[in-house]
């Protein structure tokens, strides 16, 4: 019986979906295409070498397990890297360009080009990159939420225009660090290649410049200026929606830069496929390179970001307060920064200590409702009931497997769902120290990564905890 390679890969995806989080699945597995099945070897197509290397480094065990599950012990996975597809697409597109596109002005003498970013007192062609000095890679905290985008940004900065990530399209909700990352790429390029011309521009400023150039009959000068840029960074590209003339001019600039091997970095609040009011030919070009999304940071990443901001401001805040703030501010890094600024201001102006009570007062201005308090005692009781063990044994010294699992899971949920410090959590379990809590959390995480049934159990317990709170 002949087996269909697409059906085999679809079965693999069902297994993979149960063993990775949704964000990782969308980023690393949805773009893969099954190619063929031959001699117990399933060939899959991945977008580029970077993509292949990431899969091999982070998901090789999972892939091996799923392939053997579908094809048996002799089953194996082979990769087909999409090499040269971008150049072929460019060539195909080039043969179909309209006369208007062919007649676009090319490079001209730089002395005759008007610079819309003029630096007073400098007559020769000199471009201010328009970069924020605070937005650099050193201050951009890495986590699961942004690892792909950050890694791709660094790769682009090390070899602008020389990777498959052209354009690099960074997208995500407001306040997740798109602009910070875009500026960081620009700074890193200039650090490595001081002679390159880097320019950051918001889509709003870009549009205003086009309007001004049209009023002054200087559209050609405007286009020619942008064609001189080595690394062009355009922020919030979604705001070009429904602006036909602006899109047309940007289309020509994009083509010229890309054909000359210049690097293009774009940011947006949504993926290319979700951009409304944008010309199809532009959306097609946005998909040529890599689309990397930024998701909301997890609790640990939020704490790391807050601590980095604290160090930058030269202030110290107790772990209890930082954990409380990060537990309540979940989806916006800018709000996290705003809370820190407000805490510092309130403490300084009112001569108050920065404690949890002050944090509660400040956070009310940022969120409509502070999460109802979940207690460690409540978690212990619910977990003990589920595992059918006495609740007092969770604080005891018994090493029976059922009780140990219940104890470790209770610590894990307490760390995830409460604003208690590791030390405070440990004290609720017979005076155990923070290292024991960390070990328990790591053990539970390992089980979550490998045991689907256990993962469903934990998910059900979390739902019960949250539903109980809503009922109160």
Looking at every residue in the chain, the average pLDDT score rounds to: 81
pLDDT per position as a tens digit, 127-160? 788 898 888 888 888 887 888 889 999 999 999 9
- 387 in a structural domain: yes
Residue 172 main-chain phi, psi, to 5 deg:
170, 170
In a shared domain, residues 279 and 212: yes
Span between the terminal Cα atoms of the chain, in Å = 58
Least confident of 7-11, 71-75, 109-113, 440-444: 109-113
Whether 241 and 132 share a structural domain: yes
Identify whether residues 124 and 269 lie together within a single domain. Answer: yes
**Is residue 51 predicted with pLDDT exceeding 80?**
no
Longest dimension (CA), the chain: 83
Q: In this structure, is residue 250 part of a structural domain?
A: yes
The sheet with strand 41-46 has its strands ordered as 33-38, 41-46, 76-81
Q: How many domains does the chain have?
A: 4
Q: Is the pLDDT of residue 331 over 90?
A: no
pLDDT band at 114 (very low <50, low <70, confident <90, very high): low
Confidence at residue 191, expressed as pLDDT on a 0 to 100 scale? 92
Quick check: helix, strand or coil at residue 81?
strand
Same domain, 130 and 252: yes
Q: Is the domain of 150 the same as that of 290?
A: yes
pLDDT at 367: 62
Of residues 196 and 347, the one with the higher pLDDT is 196
Do 340 and 419 fall into the same domain?
no
Question: What is the pLDDT, as a whole number, of residue 121?
Answer: 38
pLDDT of residue 190: 92
Predicted local confidence at residue 262, as pLDDT? 92
Residue 433: inside a domain: yes
On whether residue 109 sits in a domain, the answer given is no
Considering the domain architecture, whether residues 458 and 405 belong to the same structural domain is answered as yes
pLDDT tier, 441 (very low <50, low <70, confident <90, very high otherwise): very high
CATH number at residue 406: 1.10.1750.10
In-domain check, residue 302: no
What's the pLDDT tens digit per position in 93-107?
544 333 333 332 222
Nearest CA among 246, 220, 244 for reference residue 234: 246
What pLDDT is stored for residue 13 in this prediction?
92
Q: Encode 351-387: b = buried (16+ Cβ within 10 Å), e = exposed.
A: eeebeeebbeebbeebeeeebeebebebbbebbbeeb
Within a domain: residue 287? yes
Name the least confident of 98-112, 348-362, 385-399.
98-112
Residues 179/203, Cβ–Cβ less than 8 Å:
no
Q: Which residue has the higher pLDDT, 310 or 179?
A: 179
25, 74: one domain: yes
Q: Look at residue 90 and tell me whether its pLDDT is greater than 60.
A: no
Which domain covers residue 433, as residue numbers? 376-471
* Structural domain contains residue 322: yes
pLDDT tens figures, 172-200: 888 788 999 999 999 999 999 988 989 99
The residues that bridge with 36 in the sheet, in sequence order, are 43
**pLDDT band per the 50, 70, 90 thresholds, residue 164:** confident
Q: Are 243 and 386 in a shared domain?
A: no
CATH of residue 200 = 3.40.50.300
The pLDDT, as a whole number, for residue 181 is 93
Verify that 248 and 319 share a domain, yes or no: no
Q: 136 with 73, same domain?
A: no
**pTM score, whole prediction:** 0.55
């Amino acid at each position: 019986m002949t087996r269909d390679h697409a059906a085999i890969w679809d079965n693999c995806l069902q297994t993979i979906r149960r063993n990775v989080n949704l964000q990782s699945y969308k980023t690393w597995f949805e773009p893969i295409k099954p190619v063929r099945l031959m001699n117990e070897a399933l060939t899959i197509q991945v977008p580029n070498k970077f993509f292949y290397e990431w899969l091999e480094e982070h998901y090789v065990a999972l892939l091996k397990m799923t392939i053997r599950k579908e094809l048996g012990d002799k089953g194996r996975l082979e990769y087909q890297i999409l090499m040269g597809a971008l150049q072929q697409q460019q060539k195909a597109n080039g043969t179909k360009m309209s006369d208007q596109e062919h007649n676009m002005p090319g490079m001209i003498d730089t002395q005759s080009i008007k610079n819309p970013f003029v630096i007073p007192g400098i007559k020769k062609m000199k471009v201010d990159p328009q970069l924020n000095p605070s937005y650099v890679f050193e201050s951009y905290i890495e986590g699961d939420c942004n690892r792909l985008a950050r890694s791709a940004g660094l790769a682009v900065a090390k070899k602008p225009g020389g990777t498959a990530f052209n354009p690099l399209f960074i997208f995500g909700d407001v306040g997740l660090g798109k602009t910070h990352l875009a500026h960081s790429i620009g700074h890193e390029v200039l650090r490595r290649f001081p002679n390159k011309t880097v320019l950051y521009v918001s889509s709003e400023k870009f549009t205003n410049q086009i309007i001004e150039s049209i009023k002054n009959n200087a559209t050609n000068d405007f286009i020619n200026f942008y064609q001189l840029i080595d690394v062009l960074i355009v922020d919030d590209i979604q705001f070009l929606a429904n602006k036909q003339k602006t899109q047309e001019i940007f289309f020509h600039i994009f083509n010229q830069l890309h054909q000359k091997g210049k690097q293009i970095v774009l940011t947006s609040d949504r993926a290319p496929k979700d951009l409304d009011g944008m010309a199809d030919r532009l959306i097609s070009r946005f998909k040529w390179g890599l689309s990397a999304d930024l998701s909301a940071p997890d609790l640990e990443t939020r704490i790391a970001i807050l601590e980095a901001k604290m160090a930058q401001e030269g202030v110290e805040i107790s772990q209890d307060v930082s954990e409380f703030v990060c537990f309540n501010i979940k989806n916006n890094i800018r709000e996290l920064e705003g809370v820190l600024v407000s805490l510092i201001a309130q403490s300084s102006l009112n001569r108050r200590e920065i404690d949890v009570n002050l944090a509660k007062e400040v956070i009310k201005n940022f969120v409509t409702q502070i999460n109802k308090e979940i207690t460690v005692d409540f978690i212990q009781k619910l977990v003990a009931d589920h595992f059918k063990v006495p609740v007092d044994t969770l604080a005891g010294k018994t090493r029976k497997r059922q009780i140990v699992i219940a104890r470790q899971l209770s610590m894990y949920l307490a760390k995830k769902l409460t604003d208690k410090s590791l030390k405070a959590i440990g004290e609720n379990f017979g005076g155990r120290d923070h290292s024991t809590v960390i070990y328990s959390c790591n053990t539970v995480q390992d089980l979550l990564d490998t045991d689907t049934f256990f993962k469903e159990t934990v998910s059900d317990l979390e739902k019960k905890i949250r539903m109980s709170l809503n009922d109160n």
